[in-house]
Structure 1
Amino acid sequence: MSMSEKRYFSLFAQRHTIGQRNNYFRLFELVEQMPQYDNELLTQKLQEEGLSVRHLSSDKNYLYHLILKSLGAFHAGKSAGLKIKEWLIQVEILYEKGLYEQCLLLLKKATQLADKFDLFSLKPEITRWASKAHGHSGHLATLNATLAEARNQLDILDNLFLYQDLYYRMIALRQSIDKARDMNSLAELNAFISQPALRDVSSARSFQARVYFWRVHAMYYYATDAPQKELHAIEHLQQLMESAPNYIKEFPFDYLVTLSRILHLKRHRDDEEFNKLLAHFRAFPAQIKKARRKLESQVEAISANISLSRLIEQKRWKEALELTAHTREVFAEYDRLLNQAQKISHAYMLAYIFLANGRFRDALVQVNHIMNDFEADVRPELQAFTRILNLVVHYELKNFRLLHYAAESALRYLRKKGRQFKFESHIIRYFKKFSRIDDEAQHRPLFEACRKELEEILQDEFERKGLEYFDMVAWLEAHIQQVPFTDVAV
């Protein structure tokens, strides 16, 4: 909750609880003070303050619903969707009291607002109440027109649901594949994008359906590694959103994601141009009145991750290391507001940067964090390459006897996830060889053989994508030349 929401809840709780106000609000304060919820600690603190814990479960349930009511009151009317839903509640009350003309006045306002913000999912409910009110008011001609409009709305809504379904199916496909690493994955992606509804944007009958159309295409081009085409699709999406400023006000996070993707795709521009793009992106929250804290958290986290990614790709390792102090502060400050994908991406880049700069124990902390603290379906491609980083870090720490176990564990993970690509499998096989030789001086021939075979594997364009996650060629070259990783230019 934001500070404003907390202040409002304090006042709201005073108005809506009698006698037990202090107890409920104190319960709220104690929970809010915890960095992570701990029921035993909460019970202990309540008992220390002389507050009853006999009905703690029901007290927490009451507090939960009280907070929801408070948030509902605090955010009332702050978006077009919320306004319409509030009006529909009022319409139902007026209808039950037989005030049909007053119902129709509110429904007219709701219709206008839904049209203005392209809120088609709310139109059927508006029309349902309008039909009932017109029927009781004797407006039969208007009723017939309303019913005809309802049928049209259902067709448009059905079309919207089609594109919404395609969008979420594409998200699932992209999450499982990330980027196509073999012909089967590419064929699956090509079959998906060839569906009739995705051939031309004119098939999308509403603004939101067109948004979904371009998002699906952008994800397809990402997964098939076509960045220029992805940028083209994202810029279409940006133009579409900017053609309807009300949409941006109603759905600021949708626009923010679009801007962030453009920033990511243009991260290769020179420093001056990139910094201008970054400044434009960071200025967006100031233009929006609602959810400011959440918007700021997303802007800060996305800016941090893209900036790190850019420095890694440009092999500016020292600058990347310097930036990590700031990015870690950002992720600590906004931890509760960030999603797992953002956090694992940040942790992976930290591990990579620490490894490159010779801070192997710091790298191992991040590697263990990724392997132990994230759900299996969060960025599976990063979790797979974290197993590679784990091997590299243990090698650098000279934990040679751990390598065999770690390599076997990595292979099991790749088999389980269906990610047994040549790039990763080849690397793991050589680490198993390293584990059999304790004398580091005898490893150089293995490095040379590994690099030679890897260069052959990388002739396959699908396998070359492995270098986007970790530059194994540079690491091998550093050991062959016996120089720091940061000194190798590949």
Structure 2
Amino acid sequence: MLNQQLIQLISSLTKSEKRYLKVNASVVKTNKMLLRMFDVIEKNKFLSESELIKQLKIPSKSNLAVMESRLQALILRHLRGFHSNSSQEIELHHLLIEIEILYTKRLFKNCTKQILKAKKIAISCDNHLALLGILKWESYIEKEQGKYLLQSQNKLKEILNDETQLLTDYAKLIEYKYHTFNLLLLSKNKVVAQLHKEIEFYDKLVKNGFFEIKTNHTFEDKLYLLNFKGMYFMSKGDLPSCLSIYHKLMLEIESSNKKNILQSNEYFLALNNLLLLEVLNKNYDEYNKTLKKIFSRFSSLIGYKPLLFNVTTCYELGIYCEIGEEKKALAMIPEIENNLKLYDTETNEINKLLFYLNIAIAYLFNEKYSKSIYWLNIFLNDYNIKKNDVGSNIYYYGHLINMIAHFEAKNYDSINYLYNQSVNNLKKIRSLSKFDEAILKFIKKMASQKIALKKEQINSFKELRSMLEEVIKDPKETISLHFFDFFAWIDSHIENENMAFLIRKKKLG
């Protein structure tokens, strides 16, 4: 099997990058065979090792491995040249290399000139680590060139004070980063018990003003703080405040003079979070504008194609399921199936779970129960998920939806077994809530009784609804409704209406 990292790297190259590589690499004769290899792989990315060896007339498999490694190094070397001025961070990295070379050659005047240039860029893009590196070279030059003792001592003290302040600022930044990433991971994995515990801890920090944005905060500080506050309000269920935070984040990014910020990962993720919040706040007109904005900004950037699938398409499918747009969700499935294969290694386990579950829900809404059960089986039996023991609410609620799908498909003989299996698996993740236990017991009871009369079925569902309305008076019991509209399922039996229609009516009016 060919080196998959090499194939992914070649696939990610734009036309301009390929042209730059071929023009510049062809100058060196020894690169001729590597460029031939590049062309062959580019034309057929599914080529086997033996076919490639035959086409290039390579003596052995070990020679192929060496050539793959050399081709990857060649591509990366020329990408460094192509992107040397594409971002301030890359430009800064190159300047730091030049500073070290000039210092080693003892060309201190030239070195000082590059230091001033690098310092200006590092300050403008709030790069604390680069600034610490620059101050290190400034102190080295002062040590080498200091002509006047007092002046040099003052300069070194000034550098020491700057380094101390930078370390203090950087310590705050990494703390903001930790809290933001911590809350993101907990929210993404839907680990409820731990999330509640962390939120109680964060309530105190928020109350003490730890996450308040101040005038002396850098652009990067503000990004972390706004992202944290957005996720914090989301976890608290305060959707209007969360949306307000993401509007502030968008304003912060779009008004920044940072180079290529509007093609950055930060902007991409901020737009996608805004997209989700607009739906949750029922701002559907704004949602459509944001969706178009994401694709118009990023669909032409090759590197973002897997991310557009992983994040935006995943959100879009979930949103259609959330608002009951079952036909739109169904229309997305063929392309999603293709992309799940195409971007298999680039799609994380949580997103795969979300795709599987939402595809199953889309089929459930369209009353295609066998297809829904097929995708729920993939969801529940994914080896990688079981291997990594993802104790998340996504996995938890998959079991409940699986019970509903089998009930709707009238697989009554399987329900008792599925009930026992579900309860055992769910208890491994967390304790059963009263709400979830009531749903499971109801399905088991209805399946065992096999009530034929419609009137009796309707009365049973009405009784379930009344009981659940009492249960959710406890705020802790409402968590289930964030994952699936169980009341729409109940009402579909009471009113003899399609589940998706009832959700759409409720969400869109």
Range of TM-score over shorter length: 0.7 to 0.9
* Conservation of the 8 A alpha-carbon contact between 1:88 and 1:126: yes
Cα 1:192–1:264 shift into 2, 3 Å: same
- Residues 42-70 of structure 1: per-residue CA shift (max 9 Å, x gap): 34434554532145555544444444434
Q: Distance in 2 between matches of 1:231 and 1:400?
A: 43
* Deviation of 1:108 (Å): 0.8
C-alpha contact 1:241 1:247 (8 A) present in aligned 2? no
Instruction: Determine if the alignment matches structure 1 residue 349 to structure 2 residue 358.
Output: yes
Following superposition, the deviation at residue 335 of structure 1 comes to 6.3
Relative to structure 1, the CA distance from residue 32 to residue 7 in structure 2 (aligned partners, 3 Å threshold; closer, same or farther) is farther
Given candidates 172, 183, 187, the residue that maps to 1:170 is: 183
For residues 263 and 292 of structure 2, the distance between their equivalents in structure 1, rounded to whole angstroms, comes to 21
Q: What runs of 5+ residues in structure 1 fail to find an aligned partner? A: 35-40
Q: CA distance change for structure 1 residues 419 and 44 in 2, over 3 Å: closer, same or farther?
A: farther
- Corresponding position of 1:37: none
Q: Please state how far the C-alpha of 1:329 moved relative to its aligned partner.
A: 6.8
Q: Which is worse superposed, 67-76 or 88-97?
A: 67-76
* 1:427 alignment partner, one of 410, 427, 439: 439
Structure 1 residue 171: Cα displacement: 2.3
Structure 1 Cα separation of the partners of residues 73 and 473 of structure 2:
59
Aligned to 2:13: 2
| 2:416 equivalent in structure 1 | 404
Query: Which structure 2 segments of 5+ residues have no match?
Result: 1-11
Mark the CA change 1:362 to 1:191 in structure 2 (over 3 Å): closer, same or farther.
Answer: same
Q: Residues 94 and 47 (structure 1 numbering): CA distance in 2 closer, same or farther, change over 3 Å?
A: closer
1:248–1:254 Cα contact (<8 Å) kept:
no
Which residue number in structure 1 is paired with residue 4 of structure 2?
none
Give per-residue Cα distances to partners, 1:365-407, cap 9 Å, x unaligned: 3323333445357792222212222222223333333333333
Residue 459 of structure 1 aligns to a residue whose secondary structure is: coil
Match of 1:53 among 44, 50, 61: 61
Deviation string 1:7-49 (CA, Å, 9 cap, x unpaired) is 5555666567838825982698189713xxxxxx834434554
Match of residue 473 from structure 2: 459
1-structure distance, mates of 2:24, 2:427: 54
Change (3 A) 1:449 1:265: same
**Alignment partner of 1:469 is 2:483:** yes
Shift of 1:336: 6.3
Q: 1:187 to 1:247 in 2, by over 3 A?
A: farther
CA contact (8 A) 2:253 2:261 kept: no
Higher relative contact order (CA 8 A, sep 6+): 2
Task: Give the conservation status (yes or no) of the 8 Å contact 2:86–2:260.
Answer: no
The 1:2–1:32 alpha-carbon spacing in structure 2 relative to 1, beyond 3 Å, is farther
2:493 corresponding residue in structure 1: 479
TM-superposed deviation, 1:208: 1.5
- In 2 relative to 1, CA 126–449 (structure 1 residues): closer, same or farther, beyond 3 Å? same
Q: Within the alignment, does 1:209 sit opposite 2:218 as a pair?
A: no
> Structure 1 residues 377 and 240, CA, compared in 2 at 3 Å: closer, same or farther?
farther
- Alignment CA distance shift 1:270-1:186 (3 Å): closer
CA 1:487–1:246: 2 relative to 1, 3 Å: closer
Q: Is the 8 A contact 1:297 1:337 kept in 2?
A: yes
Q: Cα offset for 1:228?
A: 1.2
Q: State whether residues 13 and 21 of structure 1, in contact with CA within 8 Å, keep that contact through their aligned partners in structure 2.
A: no
Q: Deviations over 1:179-207 (max 9, x none)?
A: x6x7x854530322422562532397433
SS in 1 for 2:324: coil
Q: Distance in 1 between matches of 2:302 and 2:246?
A: 25
Change (3 A) 1:379 1:187: closer
The separation in 2 between residues aligned to 1:251 and 1:104, in whole angstroms, is 32
Count of residues in correspondence between the two structures: 477
The aligned amino acid for 1:119 is N
Q: How do 1:180-259 and structure 2 match up within 5 A?
A: 185-195=195-205, 196=208, 198-202=210-214, 205-246=217-258, 249=261, 252-259=264-271
Aligned-pair CA distance for 1:218? 1.2
Report the TM-score when normalising by structure 1. 0.82
Aligned mates of 1:207, 1:358 — CA distance in 2: 49
Q: How does 1:140-155 map to 2 (within 5 A)?
A: 140=152, 141-155=154-168
TM-score (normalised: structure 2): 0.79
Alpha-carbon distance between aligned partners in 2 of 1:55 and 1:433, rounded to the nearest angstrom: 66
Coordinate RMSD, CA, aligned: 3.7
Give the Cα separation in 2 of the matches to 1:185 and 1:23. 51
2:133 is aligned with 1:125:
yes
